[in-house]
């Protein structure tokens, strides 16, 4: 049982880092006491922890886990980038990528690697390069990166990704506002997002993204100050929350959930939403899961196995921290700030699969 959350502040918002139980701003770490919460108020001594442990049949951890580790550090480097990725090409290269992705998720299910490795793989293999635009050259580039990954050349791949991201940022800085608006509109229309494309033209894509130190008013109040105030202080639940309903003498047993490739396929066909810290969008994941024959079948089986594992077993927190991370973006409400957390698409797929299975089972019992 894990009580907590993990928020990744990405480069789009000017934030970088993760929370639990520390809020990291750039390279500066501050305990949660400094952001208006109390780590002492975890319910020890009043029965809260005992009741939760009894409900989940698992001990309370009360620890954020290790923030060290090789893959944790690699993941931190990758998620601070812009997340601009190639659409996966058809043919052999796309098949090889999806097959390798399925293998990486299988390693995660087996407990042999953390979720950071899966997300780093996607980000560094598909990282867009400003100088490589032709379909043939993109295929060659992706093939070379996959071979480097299989050879264990992870650090050179991350360095290539960081350099390519810097070039894209310089290119965007030289591009005029009108040119950028037309380019985004064209890309959205080609992907069938007509509604989003029209909104982009009429509203400029929505509210403005604010940085953490942006001042909101003449009193020098910053975005970070506003976000701290929005973070509620923890409270202990009332004792009545633990009382069983009338006629129930014990908690119901936890039902096992089996998520198959068919369930994953059904969820994949209705995916929508943007990419989280890793950068891959719902459209990309839909392609991974549906377009590449037996490789996609292997990936669906791996995702189903991961969903079943998360639903039925105790999973070490350190292995899934990156999977449940979110990119936090502060949007300008004029006045005020709206914090928006964008989670990983893979996490949404897993949640939908488990939710659909639970809903189906509960409906049959009712």
Strands 6-9 and 325-332: parallel
User: What's residue 251's pLDDT?
Assistant: 77
* Distance (Å, whole) CA 30 – CA 28: 7
- What are the DSSP E strand ranges found in 91-181? none
Distances (CA, A) of 21 to 4, 98, 189, 319: 8, 35, 42, 17
**Pick from 276, 273, 224: which is nearest to 75 by CA?**
276
Could you give phi then psi for residue 196, rounded to 5 degrees?
Answer: -65, -35
User: What's residue 329's pLDDT?
Assistant: 82
Q: 363: which 2 tokens?
A: 């409906």
- List the chain residues with pLDDT less than 50: 1-41, 173, 366
Q: What is the pTM of this model?
A: 0.77
CA angle, residues 234, 240, 244, in degrees to nearest 5: 120
Residue identified by tokens 């009894």 is: 54
Q: 93: which 2 tokens?
A: 């290269």
User: What's residue 32's pLDDT?
Assistant: 34
User: What's residue 274's pLDDT?
Assistant: 76
């Amino acid at each position: 049982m894990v009580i907590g959350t993990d928020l990744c502040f990405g480069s789009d918002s000017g934030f970088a880092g993760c929370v639990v139980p520390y809020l990291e701003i750039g390279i500066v770490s501050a305990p949660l006491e400094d952001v208006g919460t109390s780590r002492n108020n975890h319910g020890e001594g009043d029965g809260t922890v005992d009741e939760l442990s009894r409900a989940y049949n698992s001990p309370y951890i009360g620890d954020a886990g290790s923030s060290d580790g090789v893959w944790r550090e690699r993941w931190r480097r990758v998620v601070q980038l812009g997340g601009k990725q190639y659409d996966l090409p058809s043919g052999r290269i796309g098949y090889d990528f999806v097959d390798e992705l399925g293998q990486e998720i299988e390693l995660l299910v087996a407990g042999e690697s953390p979720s950071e490795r899966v997300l780093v793989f996607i980000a560094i293999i598909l990282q867009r390069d400003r100088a490589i635009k032709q379909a043939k050259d993109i295929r060659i580039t992706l093939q070379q990166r996959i071979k480097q990954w299989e050879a264990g050349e992870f650090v050179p791949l991350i360095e290539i990704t960081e350099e390519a991201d810097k070039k894209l940022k310089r290119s965007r800085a030289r591009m005029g506002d009108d040119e950028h608006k037309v380019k985004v509109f064209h890309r959205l229309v080609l992907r069938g997002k007509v509604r989003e494309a029209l909104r982009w033209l009429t509203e400029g894509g929505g509210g403005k993204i604010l940085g953490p130190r942006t001042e909101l008013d003449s009193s020098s109040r910053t975005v970070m100050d506003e976000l701290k105030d929005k973070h509620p202080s923890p409270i202990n639940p009332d004792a009545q929350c633990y009382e069983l309903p009338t006629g129930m003498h014990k908690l119901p047993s936890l039902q096992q959930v089996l998520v198959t490739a068919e369930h994953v396929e059904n969820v994949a066909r209705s995916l929508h939403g943007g990419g989280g810290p890793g950068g891959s969008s719902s459209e990309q994941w839909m392609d991974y899961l549906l377009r590449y024959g037996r490789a996609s079948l292997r990936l669906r089986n791996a995702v189903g196995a991961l969903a079943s594992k998360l639903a039925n077993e105790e999973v070490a927190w350190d292995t899934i921290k990156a999977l449940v991370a979110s990119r936090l973006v502060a949007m300008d409400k004029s006045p005020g700030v709206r914090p928006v957390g964008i989670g990983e698409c893979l996490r949404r797929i897993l949640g939908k699969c488990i939710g659909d299975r639970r809903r189906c089972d509960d409906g049959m019992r009712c």
